[in-house]
Structure 1
Amino acid sequence: MTDGIPIRPATPDDLREVTGLLAAQLAEHDIPIERADLEFAADAILRVPERGFVLLAVEGGAAVGVACVSYSWTVERGGRVAWLDELYVAPSLREHGIGNALLARAIAVAGAAGCRTVELEVETSHARAEHLYRRHGFADLPRRRWTRTLP
């Protein structure tokens, strides 16, 4: 809990709230995604715990922050890895420790799930996020991430 705002695991019943927060996050960063694709992906994590987990920060019955984590298995890390896919707090509630608390809980849940590392990416222009991650012990890797969309 932070500033009286509880953080809890999301369930399939939270799909609408989770999707709403994730849509806001992606829109804020100009990342296009169809709402149906976003709902499909979020629902798949919520319904199959082996895929990852979602945490919600809730204030007054409304979801105001989300951490979405997916699992993968990598040779380089020697096993299960947690990928912090999204971390988002509603703009009006930023700077109240909610993102910090969501991140700390995500790290703890990933560790309890047997993950060897928690990995993430940060847009190069997002210095505030980099500061948060450094405070939690994350280090910048000397790599560039690449992607290829498949048909």
Structure 2
Amino acid sequence: MKEVTLRQAKAEDLDALVSFNQAMAQETEGKRLDPTTLRQGVNGLLTHPEYGFYLVAEQEGEIRGSLAVTFEWSDWRNALFWWIQSVYVSPSARRQGIYAGLYNRVQLLAKEQGNVCGFRLYVEKDNEVAQQTYKNLGMQECQYYMYQSKD
């Protein structure tokens, strides 16, 4: 496998991140996201580090994968959960360890920060490939259901 560089996303990565988010929504949920809203949302995370951050995996000068991390304060634990979101790896780069590398970097960054008590993510109920990937990396299904009031 060619060398992969993992790094925090920059403003110049906006187009790639928007494209990845659009592709992920289409692939996993059959949804076409509003391009203007999506672009503003991705840019919001890039420009507001208090909300979270994106990591990207770059190979041969091209972004091959990305994920977002957002923060949830746990008063029970007096620490943060980091939510892993917007995970996407280009189809041609899948099954090459790109997500594992990104996840390992998230773990390292959390350890450096010192106040992260765990990682959470959500996955489509039918996405068995992703579920197995997360299990292979040591994640476990939790005891909570997720509810939302608006799509």
TM-score by length of 2: 0.88
State the Cα deviation string for residues 61-107 of structure 1 (Å, max 9, x = none): 22110011111213344332211112110011111111111121122
Q: For 2:130, give the aligned amino acid.
A: A
* Matched letter for residue 94 of structure 2: R
Residue 92 of structure 2 aligns to a residue whose secondary structure is helix
- Deviation of the 1:17 alpha carbon: 1.2
Aligned twin of 1:132: 133
SS of residue in 2 equivalent to 1:6: strand
Runs of 5+ consecutive residues of structure 1 not aligned to the other structure? none
* Corresponding letter in the other structure for 2:34: E
Residues 80 and 116 of structure 2 are in contact (CA less than 8 Å); yes or no, is this contact kept in structure 1? yes
| 2:79 equivalent in structure 1 | 79
Q: Which runs of 5+ in 2 are unaligned?
A: none
Q: Secondary structure at the match of 1:128?
A: helix
- Give the whole-Å Cα distance in 2 for the aligned partners of 1:107 and 1:7: 13
Misfit runs of 4+, over 4 Å: none
Structure 2 CA distance for aligned equivalents of residues 147 and 77 of structure 1: 23
SS, match of residue 148 in structure 1 = coil
Percent of residue pairs identical: 24
Give the equivalent residue in structure 2 for 1:105: 105
> Does the 8 Å contact 2:81/2:117 carry over to 1?
yes
Asked if 1:118 corresponds to 2:116, the answer is: no
Deviates more, 1:90-99 or 1:24-33: 24-33
Equivalent position amino acid for 1:80 in 2 = L
Contact 1:110 1:118 in 2 (8 A): no
The reply to whether residue 15 of structure 1 matches residue 14 of structure 2 is yes
Once the two structures are TM-superposed, the CA of residue 25 in structure 1 deviates from its matched residue by: 1.0
The one-letter code of the counterpart of 1:145 is: M
Aligned position for 2:5: 6
Please give the TM-score of this superposition, normalised by the length of structure 1: 0.88
Paired position in structure 1 for 2:35: 35
Return closer, same or farther for 1:12/1:97 CA change in 2, 3 Å cut-off.
same
Q: Which residue of 1 aligns with 2:96?
A: 96
Contact 1:72 1:82 in 2 (8 A): yes
